[in-house]
Amino acid sequence: MFETYRVAHTTRFSLCGGASKTRIPAKTQSSVDPSKLATARERLRRRYRPARVRLLFVGESPPASGRFFYQADSGLYRAIRQTFLSAFPDLTNADFLKSFRKLDCYLVDLCGNPVDRLPMKQRRLACARGEAQLAAQIRQLDPETIVTVVRSIAANVERAQARAKWQGTHIELPYPGRWKTHRDAFEQALRPVLRRTLPDQVGADSINLRHR
């Protein structure tokens, strides 16, 4: 059982109880079996998994461009990093991904393979199929808060939460996208969440997030 309500038009809350040097070159991605690419991405992602997950970010899928949050080269990476800097301007570090991990933050995707260039019907089907795996991850990680970073998958994430019998706070954000207005809306919605959820962690670890 959980309660859902909206705050302004940028986020909805559901209350229910440095870059890695390991990159996957674009040329390689075009010639490698998709399952092998997915395995390589997940291996890289697991390097940054914290022992305890306080804030779990959920994206739709790795982009078809070959960029990836845990390669520190995607638009989502830049938007999240910028929001952390905006929320905690006195903090600096050469490797944001390590700081992200130290802050007990982790990002997973609903779909293991890129879906952003699929026809809409296939894209929705892939997202629906991803719910079981996401539910398993939620059960295993048991985060305090789940942050959905694109509204189009909000219903998928909620079904995965119910399937996992998870209780916590679910926050839905607008995807930052390529337009500044979208990135600004994303930052304005996420910044208070970070300040409310992570301030004691930031102070305890004295983590630097700037200078990259």
pLDDT per position as a tens digit, 64-103: 999 999 999 999 999 999 999 999 887 666 689 999 999 9
What's the rounded Cα separation, in Å, for the pair 34 and 175?
25
7-11, 64-68, 191-195: which has the minimum mean pLDDT?
A: 7-11
What kind of architecture, by CATH, is found in domain 3-205?
Answer: 3-Layer(aba) Sandwich (3.40)
Q: What is the pLDDT of residues 133-171, one digit of tens each?
A: 999 999 999 999 999 999 999 999 999 999 999 999 999
Q: What are phi and psi of 60, to 5 degrees?
A: -75, -50
Task: Tell me the per-residue pLDDT of 17-67, one tens digit each, with 9 for 90 and over.
Answer: 444 445 555 444 555 677 888 899 999 999 999 999 999 999 999 999 999
Among residues 142, 145, 139, the alpha carbon closest in space to that of 197 is found at 145
For the chain, the 3-state helix, strand and coil shares in percent, each to the nearest 5, are 50, 15, 40
Closest of 181, 202, 204, 180 to residue 89, by C-alpha: 202
Give the β-pairing of 55-59 and 105-109. parallel
Share of the chain above pLDDT 70, in %: 76
Distance between CA atoms of residues 124 and 27, nearest Å: 28
CA 22 to each of CA 8, 18, 73: distance values in angstroms, whole numbers, following the listed order: 40, 11, 12
**Is residue 188 exposed (0-12), middle (13-18) or buried (19+ Cβ within 10 Å)?**
middle
- Give the pLDDT confidence score for residue 87 in this predicted structure: 92
User: What is the pTM for the complete model shown?
Assistant: 0.84
What pLDDT score does 14 carry? Answer: 43
Residue 12 has pLDDT above 80, yes or no: no
State residue 24's pLDDT score: 54
Give 6's pLDDT tier (boundaries 50, 70, 90).
Answer: very low
Nearest Cα neighbor of 100 from 113, 112, 82, 115 is: 82
